Amino acid sequence: MTRLLVSTNHREVLNNAISGWLYVVDVENRTVIKRCSGVEAPYRTHDTNPRGGMRGIRGIGFRQGELAISNYSSVLFFDRHWSLLRVLTHPSIASIHEILYTEKGVWVTSTANDVLARFDADGNLDPLIYMRAQKSLMRKLGGPLKQIVRPKDLQVGKKDFRMRTYFNLDVYDRVHLNSVCQLPDGRLLLSLGLLVGDYFGFLMNIKTLMMKLKVWDFFLGINRAIRRLLRRDKQMLSDLVVQPAKGKSAIVSLDADGTWQTHLVIDTAQNPSHSVRGLSDGTAVYLNTSHGEIIHFDLDGRVISTTKISEKFLRGLLELPDGHLALGSSNHLLIFDLKTCSIVDRIELSPEPLNSIFDIQIMPPDFDLPPDALEDRFGKIAGYNGRETIWQKN
């Protein structure tokens, strides 16, 4: 039996409600055999983002009898019997999306501030890569060029991003580094989900000001009325009739010598693309979330196929042992045949359409099923003191 461990982010759920779940799925029987609520990130009451924000369970990684699971601001490690081993956190690491558990530590995508970093066993960040400092790469891709945080300040955690709100983060998140996997030759393959250049950033600042002045909802209402009058379709996650600027999504790789290579660049609207995975045949796949597409490409940048598969939010991607792909489409797990470019099955994880899949990994056969609720067993994370986690016991 092939079991998948799937994490979810319940978008728009109230701050006092459970926002992240783990599901164990029996692939062959297409059934959910266990659901477990996760450990929530602290400071959610300060989160003004109505969508993902600080909610949810994020990246998943297995290695040598251990499971690593991330929420917004920490990585929690469990053994095969779901005993908590340790928690890693750092002031500079926040809005974690995917993680990659390797023999040298856990790579984390700190989407809040355009940082890729690796936690070593002691919780140190070694290395820490600030994407805005990669000047030639950013120039090539049209990304942000202004460094608003010094890399050495990120290294020591001078600013605590774990407590920042969504609107304050607008100026820091201009690459939206949200996915990482490792190729057979050791290179890291990364998704820069939404590259925002200087002009786009200026418009985002205007939006932030309008929200603070409480006129943004009125502006959106006018756009909705115009869109209905013109009978134009709504773009995913955007009510604007005219998109004044577009970002880009890009797939890049980083080798051990620090050399960057660009493999794929796609235009996108206002929304990030998600989840890149290298496949066993040497090609790769990427979810173009804005357009509900899965893109199959080789590492020379040639697009092999582009398939429209959903109008719902795409995130979470995995190659199964039989060669099919498992991917997340909001609250559904889709089984996709890359050869025929077709969906061969779908599994509903939850009746809630906003309980959206985040990450998908194969669960080792010697792992027990999780408990019903991790916080019932271990307590809640009340906050942080530097790199120390403060627990509130039940």
Domain containing residue 172: CATH number: 2.120.10.30
Which pTM value belongs to this model? 0.90
Reduced to 3 states (helix: H, G, I; strand: E, B; else coil), residue 195 is: strand
Does some domain include residue 238? no
Q: What is the pLDDT of residue 237?
A: 47
pLDDT of residue 227: 72
Q: Is the peptide bond before 127 cis (omega within 30 degrees of 0)?
A: yes
Using an 8 Å Cβ cutoff, are 70 and 85 in contact?
no
User: Residue 224 domain-assigned?
Assistant: no
Q: Number of helices and strands (H, E) in the chain?
A: 6, 26
Domain total of the chain: 1
Asked if the structure places residue 230 within a domain, the reply is no
Rounded CA gap, 370 and 39, in Å?
13
**pLDDT < 50 stretches in the chain:** 236-237, 241
- Decide if 176 contacts 116 (C-beta within 8 A): no
87 lies in some domain:
yes
Is residue 167 exposed (0-12), middle (13-18) or buried (19+ Cβ within 10 Å)?
Answer: middle
Residue 229 confidence (pLDDT): 75
135 is a domain residue? yes
Question: In 276-304, which positions are buried (b, 16+ CB within 10 angstroms) versus exposed (e)?
Answer: bbbeeeebbbbbbbbbbbbbbbebeeeee
In a domain, 121, yes or no: yes
- Domain span at residue 136 reads 3-197+247-392
pLDDT, position 282: 96
Of 389, 385, 295, 288, whose CA–CA distance to 341 is shortest? 295
Does the residue 324 lie in any domain?
yes
pLDDT at 244: 54
Residue 208, in any domain of the structure = no
pLDDT at 241: 46
